[in-house]
Amino acid sequence: MATALPLTACALLAAAAIVVRGSTARAWLLLASLTVAPAILVVHVWDASQVVTLRHHAPIAIGGALAGLLLVAALAVLFTRVPSAFPIAAVATVPFRIPITVGGGSSNLLLPLYLVVAAGALAWAIPRIAGRVEDPPQRAGALEWTLAATLVLYAAQTAYSADTGRALENVVFFYVPFAALFVLLARLRWTRRLAGRCLAVLTGLAVALAAVGYVEYATRHLFLNPKVIASNELSDYFRVNSLFFDPNIYGRFLAIVIVLLVAWMLWRRDARQVAWASLVLAFLFGGLVLTLSQSSFAALLVGLAVLGALRWSVKWALVASAVVALVAVVALAAGTSVLQGGGSTNKATSGRSDLVSGGVRLFASRPLLGHGSGSFPREYRRAEHVSAERATSASHTIPITVAAEQGLVGLAVYLALLWFAFVRLFRGADSGALRAGVAAAFAALVAHTLMYAAFLEDPLTWALLGVGTAAAAAAATDAREAAAVPAAGARAR
């Protein structure tokens, strides 16, 4: 309960920043949530060995903090003078995770992205607090209210969680800063040029990361993640993870970039540009193959099917998807059988069927409110009597994780969030490459979360929702303006 109260207060600040109408109030709430979140973290880890060491070397800690603040201030000045630099910087930092030991456990944190979000929030909020900029009031839609409810509910359900530390880290490291990212991206004017630059940066990053993956495969040496390194040494196959800590998250990133790039190609008429993009796609797809991530292949298939339906025909997209899915299932089943040496369904799915069945049993034991936010790993080990070595961060099926941790209440909010997100992103998504790409990429990401972990813990989720929200708002504004022109002409006559 002691942890739940400040976490809920912080989540309320972030939630209010999403739904409040006035820009000045939103600016204050945004800065408050981004200030309270690290303060809660500092209190939480105050007695951790790493913090105690820093406390004994105060000049080093103070110097590091000042350097971080100066960097944020410099970035804020840049984003104030060049607003388009913020989304480009956010895209450029979104893949990079740095391992940090927090409270006795290790977490892979997006520290570069946190700095960019903090600077972006300052650049956006200070002019509005100072009264130099006043945006027209914006009414929150169902998606914004559901996102806000998700934040507050998750924080409140730490009150009875068996692992409040994990829940706290999710709120502080993911939900609150990514909510700020959503707010900032949703209020940008996404021109074709800005979207193109962001896609170019994202594609360049994907090419560079895929090149690292090719080097890993050629040298049979991984740069990160001892667990994957050990798994490769014991297996007949070799999985790459580039500079990510997980082949599946690396595969998800590549799949999302491929979907966005294909969307750009489908609305282009320049044959030379399409040809060059096809070569890049082949390079990225090769990098995806080396991950051996079944969930990423499935996500890619979903994203491409959505693009086919939006650009051409729903019927033929479904037919083509069914054929490709059948071939993929047969190929993956055969490949898995060879690689795993046959065996049970659980072995073929890398233990995920056990996680799913265990998660279902956890949900059945407390169906209404669940076991509390962040509690799945600890409750799963307790209920299934498995060792710490078999610990997992989630059920690898997000609805199961939500049901086990948050019960029917949390599951209902999660399903409502998906519904309103799809409505927001898909309404009018066939109008151009930007909206179609965002909708298809989000569908691919959701498909991936049905077979792997991390939904709202992934900044790509919030970024796609933010960009899709801004694009939908711009389309609605353009439609109103277009409708107003004939009406004005008719009144003039």
> Each residue of 139-191: pLDDT tens digit?
899 999 999 999 999 999 999 999 888 899 899 999 999 999 999 999 999 99
Query: Is residue 489 classed as helix, strand or coil in its secondary structure?
Result: helix
Amino acid 389: pLDDT: 45
Amino acid 392: pLDDT: 57
pLDDT tens for residues 299-327?
999 999 999 999 887 766 666 667 666 65
Query: Is residue 105 classed as helix, strand or coil in its secondary structure?
Result: strand
How far apart are the C-alpha atoms of 134 and 377, rounded to whole Å? Answer: 46
Quick one: 201 exposed, middle or buried, by C-beta within 10 A (0-12, 13-18, 19+)?
A: middle
Identify the band that residue 12 occupies on the pLDDT scale cut at 50, 70 and 90: very high
**Beta bridge partner(s), residue 107:** 100
Determine contact, residues 139/109, Cβ cutoff 8 Å.
Answer: no
Buried b vs exposed e over 409-444: b needs ≥16 C-beta within 10 Å? ebbebbebbbebbbebbbeebeebbbbbbbbbbbbb
Mean local confidence (pLDDT), 246-275: 92
The structure tokens listed for 227 are 């667990």
Answer yes or no: is pLDDT of 107 > 60: yes
Mean local confidence (pLDDT), 202-230: 83
Tell me how crowded residue 250 is: count the other CB atoms within 10 A of its CB. 28
More confident site: 357 or 320: 357
Amino acid 390: pLDDT: 47
Answer yes or no: is pLDDT of 340 > 50: no
Identify the band that residue 290 occupies on the pLDDT scale cut at 50, 70 and 90: very high
Q: What is the DSSP string of 315-383?
A: HHHHHHHHHHHHHHHHHHHHHHHHHHTS--HHHHTTTHHHHHHHHHHHHHHSTTT-S-TT-HHHHHHHH
How far CA 227 is from CA of 110, 118, 222, 254, in Å, comes to 20, 32, 10, 21
Residues of the chain with pLDDT > 90: what percent?
A: 56
Give CA torsion, residues 228, 231, 235, 238, to 10 deg. Answer: 10
Range of weakest confidence among 119-133, 207-221, 327-341 = 327-341
Domain ranges of the chain: 4-186, 202-482
Identify the band that residue 219 occupies on the pLDDT scale cut at 50, 70 and 90: confident
Determine contact, residues 223/212, Cβ cutoff 8 Å.
Answer: yes
The structure tokens listed for 285 are 């797809």
How far CA 416 is from CA of 134, 143, 412, 419, 453, in Å, comes to 32, 8, 6, 5, 19
More confident site: 313 or 127: 127
Query: Is residue 393 classed as helix, strand or coil in its secondary structure?
Result: coil
The structure tokens listed for 470 are 């801004």
Beta strand pairing call for 105-109 and 98-102: antiparallel
How far apart are the C-alpha atoms of 395 and 389, rounded to whole Å? Answer: 15
In the block, which residue shows the tokens 């002019």?
127
Give CA torsion, residues 453, 454, 455, 456, to 10 deg. Answer: 150
Query: Is residue 108 classed as helix, strand or coil in its secondary structure?
Result: strand
Amino acid 103: pLDDT: 53
**Beta bridge partner(s), residue 109:** 98
How far apart are the C-alpha atoms of 81 and 75, rounded to whole Å? Answer: 10
Tell me how crowded residue 149 is: count the other CB atoms within 10 A of its CB. 16
Mean local confidence (pLDDT), 471-490: 74
Query: Is residue 97 classed as helix, strand or coil in its secondary structure?
Result: coil
How far apart are the C-alpha atoms of 443 and 303, rounded to whole Å? Answer: 6
Mean of per-residue pLDDT scores for the chain: 85
Answer yes or no: is pLDDT of 359 > 80: yes
Cα of 43 vs its chain's centroid, Å:
27
Determine contact, residues 195/189, Cβ cutoff 8 Å.
Answer: no
Answer yes or no: is pLDDT of 52 > 80: no
Buried b vs exposed e over 96-118: b needs ≥16 C-beta within 10 Å? bbeeeebbeeebbbbebbbbbbb
Answer yes or no: is pLDDT of 385 > 80: no
Identify the band that residue 85 occupies on the pLDDT scale cut at 50, 70 and 90: very high
**Beta bridge partner(s), residue 47:** none
How far apart are the C-alpha atoms of 177 and 111, rounded to whole Å? Answer: 11
How far apart are the C-alpha atoms of 56 and 305, rounded to whole Å? Answer: 57
Determine contact, residues 294/451, Cβ cutoff 8 Å.
Answer: yes
Tell me how crowded residue 271 is: count the other CB atoms within 10 A of its CB. 8
Identify the band that residue 43 occupies on the pLDDT scale cut at 50, 70 and 90: confident
